[in-house]
Amino acid sequence: MTLLDTFQVAFRSLAINKMRSGLTMLGVIIGVASVILLVSVGSGLQAFVTDQFDELGTDLLTVFPGELKFGDTAGREGGPPGSANNKLTREIAELIERRADLVEGVTPVATTYSETKYLGKERTTGILGTTVNYIDIRKSPTDKGRFFSRQEESGTKRVAVLGATTVKELFGNRDPIGEDLKISGKSFTVIGVFESKGAAFGNDQDDLVAIPLTTFERVFDLDKVSYIYTKVGDVERVDQAKRQIERILLTQMNNEDVSVIGTQDLLDTVTSILGVITAGLGGIAAISLVVGGIGIANIMLVSVTERIREIGIRKAVGATSRDILLQFLTEAATLSVIGGVVGILIGVGGSLILNNFVQTVVPTWSIILGFTISALTGIVSGVGPAIKAARMDPIAALRFE
């Protein structure tokens, strides 16, 4: 019996019980589709995170207050500008700028939340106090108007640059440039609007108001900063620059009082965590494939029992045990392969639809893995029933009622 004959017999047998064959494939379809969908979401999240960090650039080093411990539930032991544990100041940023020759730009950033008000509209907004270097180091250009100048910073001027969300919520369709905005009860002149950045990690990057750090310190009576951004002149020397900054900081405080973290350090850590999550999601979905395999094994055992006389007749007219073995293995493999192909189509299609809401990426390896596992599931699930059928005695099979 040729391989083609084996496939033809297998397809005819499956076609006789279309409903049962379809329900048997359902477990494999769900399993493969789930693997591809969940892996695509995890991979999309990894791609999104990578894009976000690429926007920052690998030449960025950030100085945080306190000791930042990755993977530690205690997290960072420092604090915001008003925290007693925070020892970062504008003067420390200036010290880094003077002494770190590998650093080409430094900008301290202080953050808080405050009530912002315009013509009766009021909302709580993130207030960011920084210096003129901020737009270059953080790659945050203005879409309208301009950023504040060094003169406005040194003169403690009450000028503000708004994020797109803040403009939308407070000003609607009105042009905010030149308008007066109340921040913590003080009047500020709007001089610019940042280009929209959208959301990142669940945080709206456009919901902010940036003002000169000197003004921030006076309005909120705070002399500490939340963190310090430093831009390294040569990307190849980021590690050297990091060590240089740490040595400078040690002259002012202890190791436990501050952390210097590179963008690449953060990216590597987050990517590693997301990789584990993606693998975990794929593993959870793969359980459906195991269930599908059990379903195929059960149905094939039922099929063998129902077709005992057929097996006896085939053996009586010359079919070998090998022919019977191949027929049932082919039926099981066909069920799982067709289910795998349908599952791949549903998984890829679902990922494309889901991409309208969250970023998804379908890795080629997930498709290959889904198809391979589905085929192996069918073969492994069909081995037991196929061996049982192949070992049947033709005389006993013909007597079976």
d(CA 175, CA 192): 10
Classified as helix, coil or strand, 308 is helix
What values do phi and psi take at 209, rounded to 5?
-130, 125
As for how many domains the chain has, the answer is: 2
Same-domain check for residues 25 and 167: no
* H or E element in which residue 228 lies: strand 227-232
Give the mean pLDDT of 108-114.
93
pLDDT of res. 179: 93
Which pLDDT score is estimated for 71?
Answer: 45
Residue 54 burial (10 A CB sphere; 0-12, 13-18, 19+): exposed
Q: What is the dihedral of CA 389, 391, 395, 396, to 10 degrees?
A: -70
Residue 399 CB-half CA count within 13 A: 5
In a domain, 161, yes or no: yes
Instruction: Give pLDDT, residue 399.
Output: 66
Q: What is the pLDDT of residue 234?
A: 81
Q: What is the pLDDT of residue 212?
A: 95
Q: Quick one: 106 and 243 in the same domain?
A: yes
Q: Express as a percent the part of the chain with pLDDT over 70.
A: 86
Judge whether 174 lies within some domain. yes
With 80 as the cut, is the pLDDT of residue 132 above it? yes
**Residue 364 is assigned to a structural domain of this protein:** yes
Model pLDDT, residue 9: 63
Residue 72 pLDDT exceeds 60: no
Q: 41 or 7: whose pLDDT is higher?
A: 41
Q: Are residues 96 and 221 in the same domain?
A: yes
**Contact, 217 vs 82, CB < 8 A?**
no
Residue 68 domain flag: no
In a 10 Å sphere around its CB, with 0-12 CB exposed, 13-18 middle and 19+ buried, how is residue 359 labelled? middle
Angle at 56 between CA 54 and CA 59, to 5 degrees: 90
Rounded Cα distance, 156 and 245, in Å: 28
Which one of 252, 286, 304 terminates a domain?
252
d(CA 356, CA 361): 12
User: Does the pLDDT value for residue 70 go beyond 60?
Assistant: no
Residue 337 confidence (pLDDT)? 85
Residue 130: strand pairing partners: 212
Residue recorded with tokens 């202890």: 254
Look at 137 and 314; give whichever has higher pLDDT. Answer: 137
Domain shared by 372 and 309, yes or no:
yes
**C-alpha distances in angstroms, 13 versus 16, 17, 169, 320, 325?**
5, 7, 65, 18, 14
Q: Would 217 be classed as within a structural domain? A: yes
- Residue pair 290/373 in contact by the 8 Å Cβ criterion: no
Whether 383 maps to a domain, the answer reads yes
Tell me: pLDDT of 3 over 80: no
Identity of the residue numbered 220: F
Q: Is the pLDDT of residue 130 over 90?
A: yes
Q: Is 41 left (phi over 0), alpha (psi -120 to 50) or beta?
A: alpha
Which of 252, 281, 316 delimits the end of a domain? 252
Alpha helices, H only, 57-133: 90-99
Q: How far apart are CA 243 and CA 232, in angstroms?
A: 12
Task: Quote the pLDDT of residue 83.
Answer: 53
% of the chain exceeding 90 in pLDDT: 24
Mean pLDDT of the 66-87 span:
53
pLDDT tens for 209-233 read 999 999 999 999 888 899 999 988 7
Residue 157 counted as domain residue: yes
pLDDT band for 6, please (50, 70, 90 cuts).
low
Query: Identity (one letter) of the amino acid at 368?
Result: I
More confident residue, 160 or 300: 160
For the cut 60, the answer to whether the pLDDT of residue 164 exceeds it is yes
Q: Are residues 221 and 332 in the same domain?
A: no
CA angle (383, 389, 392) in 5-degree steps: 140
Q: Within 10 A of 257 (CB to CB), how many other CB atoms are there? A: 18
Residue 111 shares a structural domain with residue 43: no
pLDDT tier for residue 112 given thresholds of 50, 70 and 90: very high
Structure confidence by residue, pLDDT tens digits, 271-321: 788 778 877 877 777 777 777 778 778 877 877 777 777 777 877 877 788
For 148, the 3-state DSSP assignment is coil
3-state secondary structure of 132: coil
Instruction: For residue 106, name the pLDDT band (cuts at 50, 70, 90).
Output: very high
Whether residue 311 sits in one domain with residue 195: no
Residue at token pair 């850590």? 269
Residue 24 near residue 299 (C-beta atoms within 8 A): yes
- pLDDT band at residue 186, thresholds of 50, 70 and 90? very high
Cα-based torsion angle of the residue sequence 266, 83, 232, 140 in order, rounded to the nearest 10 degrees: 80
Domain co-membership, 217 together with 282: no
Residue 401 has pLDDT above 60, yes or no: no
Look at residue 76 and tell me whether its pLDDT is greater than 80. no
Average pLDDT rounded to a whole number, residues 181-206:
85
Compare 154 and 394 and report the one with higher pLDDT.
154
E-strand ranges in 60-141 read 60-65, 103-118, 121-130
**Residues 6 or more apart in contact with residue 71 via CB below 8 angstroms:** 269
Identify whether residues 37 and 126 lie together within a single domain: no
CB neighbours of residue 6 within 10 Å: 20
pLDDT over 90 at 162, yes or no:
yes
pLDDT tens, position by position, 243-267: 888 888 888 776 667 788 887 777 7
Q: Could you tell me if 127 and 231 lie in one domain? A: yes
Residue 73 has pLDDT above 70, yes or no: no
- What range does the domain containing 30 cover? 3-51+270-399
Task: Give me the chain's average pLDDT, please.
Answer: 82
C-alpha 192: how far from chain center = 32
- Whether 327 and 189 map to the same domain: the answer is no
Q: Examine residue 64 and state whether it is found in any structural domain, yes or no.
A: no
Of the three residues 222, 252, 282, the one that is the final residue of a domain is: 252
- Same domain (yes/no): 156, 237: yes
H/E stretch holding 22 reads: helix 18-56
Question: What pLDDT is recorded for position 22?
Answer: 80
